[in-house]
Amino acid sequence: MTAERLAQDEKSDLRVENCLDAAVEYLRSLQHEDGWWKGDLATNVTMDAEDLMLRRFLGVATAQTDAETARWIRSQQRDDGTWATFPGGPGDLSTTVEAWVALRMAGDDPAEPHLAKAAEFVRSAGGVEKARVFTHLWLALFGLWEWDDCPDLPPELIFLPGWAPLNVYNWACWARQTIVPLTIVSALRPVRPVDFGIDQLRAGTPAARKAPPWSLDGGFQLLDVVLNAYTRWGPRGPLGGIRRLAMRRSVEWIVARQEADGGWGGIQPPWVYSLIALHLMGYATDHPVMAAGLRGLEGFTVHADTVGGPVRWLEACQSPVWDTGLVVGALLDAGVAPDDKAVLKATDWLLDEQIDAPGDWQVRRPTLTTGGWAFEFANDGYPDTDDTAEIVLALRRVVHPEPQVLRAALDDAVEWTAGMQSADGGWGAFDADNTDTTPLRLPFCDFGAVIDPPSADVTAHVVEMLAAEGKTGTDECRRGVRWLLDSQESDGSWFGRWGTNHVYGTGAVVPALIAAGTSADDPVIRCAVRWLADHQNPDGGWGEDLRSYVDPSWIGRGDSTPSQTAWALLALVAADERDETVRRGIGYLVDTQRPDGGWDEHRYTGTGFPGDFYIGYHLYRLVFPIWALGRYLGRDRPHHEGAVSR
């Protein structure tokens, strides 16, 4: 290597060092005094439209909340009159319908250009008739849609035993907590009329063709007709008693799962539907359960002042435990001392957040000891394997003043996570063996993931954690590695369930396989490296548009983002790549850094429901670049083995 090239490399490395140091200082400044980190979590305006409609339905709306919510919804409308589910995405029919209805409730005139434009889009996209089931349910609450035209959800589902198809534990945790309250709403069919109609949104589109009656889909459609009639005419005699008992049992189920912050599952859908269901069953808005739920929603509300006036928008969920675990890992990889004051404060906060309470996951794993972490501040009923794996990976490297306490917590977490392995060898996020696809065939299920099968990104994080804990020889780790090898796509990438998308999946799996003992020269790794190199953008970064979940032509394609660039770099550095591809990726991060040490990220890179619901994690743009830069510079190596390793 020439002296000139050496000098260039030294200058480049100095820029990377300075970039990383600035990012770390900025990240440090964001720590809460209690020890945690949390970035805002952005989604789309259905959260805000439904919040406005919820308050109208419960009778707790005020002129101020309506005005601030409506101002926010208007600010998110695009020039073509639509609202999308992610920045830069196409206009979404159901989101636009719900935004239009919410603005009408807030007093906007349908003749105003912004609503007229929105209505024109809705009609051109097939009309309100083509909107999703959830949208139709919200419209039915206000007499804008017929309950008979909504799929029926019988509350008697609560009686189905765990071995029966369609029992509530065959649904993903987020879906079951939504389904149970909706069965009450579906049975009671409330209508609280508003003073406007939605004829402007109708296109006269005929109903979709029914599936053949002898098919499974057709059978469920016929069953839905029967159940609708049953609900419409009202169960009589003993059947009426059974329905009333089912509704009471469902109420007990709902109340038992209310979290300390007043919410359900730490996410918006079960939260709002639980409030509606309980209200319909006689719970006044000042009842302690309802009051706690409404107060909790305020904790998920972001207030801001804009040029047009104050606005309020709702986070679909919050991610402080996840964010804090990721931050600790990133700081340690950036060379921050494992006994650093900020690291220790975060560690103590995380230890206090470890869950020792029971949860629905015990239906499938009744003898397993608790010990995981959840995503949110208060979600003790639903720890998840993804959070737990990442937190173990971070905390096992901390030099704590009470190492025995830390080690005991990690041992419990590792045991719980390993025990949540599904029969096929992979890991889902919240439940084990939540793989029955029967719920997907119901007429109700036209939106979002409703089961929680193993995914490559979650399985990779668990495998990496087991490897770090010295458990590569265990049956759990070997089966997890086999699951990952079997799930590699033909192009060399992996599908990303909780992050966008193949860049995220590949960025998670390659480091995990390397940690578990796969050689960087293995064809599996080489194929993944080639895929990443082939999908690098001309600016040196990586990006993948969220449309890749529904349109394969977008796989690996999209505007470069800091978080996705970092995911690709984490995989390449793990595979011992130090070539021009990596240098250009590092250069992208250095060149796009803001003066304050952070990065801008205008695209969403988080996934709620593939194909339907997406998330902008405001800390991803900072945490993952720090992680990638630290590993590129080798700052993780002095403490890589950890202070509490066996």
Residue of 373, 284, 356, 277 lying closest to 320 (CA atoms): 373
Task: Return the SS3 of 554.
Answer: helix
Query: Hey, what are 164's tokens?
Result: 């029966």
> Distance between CA 404 and CA 391 in Å, rounded?
17
Q: What radius of gyration do the chain's Cα atoms show?
A: 25
Nearest partner of 59 among 275, 292, 317, judged by Cα: 275
Rounded CA separation 332/631 (Å): 10
CA torsion sign for 459, 462, 466, 467 is: positive
The values of phi and psi at residue 309, to 5°, are 125, 175
In the DSSP assignment, the letter for residue 335 is: T
Beta carbons within 8 Å of 178's beta carbon, 6+ residues apart:
269, 270, 273
Structure tokens at 86: 């992610």
Record the tokens describing residue 432, joined without a space.
């084990």
631's tokens: 């590993």
Q: What is the DSSP string of 425-447?
A: S---SS-SS----GGGGSTT--S
**How, if at all, do strands 41-42 and 606-609 pair?**
unpaired
The one catalytic residue among 48, 51, 384, 386: 386
State the greatest distance between any 2 C-alpha atoms of the chain, in Å, as a whole number: 93
Residue type, 635: R
Cα–Cα dist 207/479, whole Å: 46
Q: Name every residue whose Cβ is closer than 8 Å to that of residue 213 and which is 6 or more positions away in sequence.
A: 219, 221, 222
CA 319/CA 445 separation, integer angstroms: 26
Identify whether 386 is a catalytic site residue: yes
Rounded distance between C-alpha atoms, residue 192 and residue 199, angstroms: 18
For 401, other C-beta atoms within 10 Å of its C-beta total: 10
Amino acid making up residue 288: P
**Closest listed residue to residue 353, CA positions, set 34, 65, 619:** 34
Half-sphere exposure of 151 (CA within 13 A, CB side): 18
Q: Point out the residues that are catalytic.
A: 386
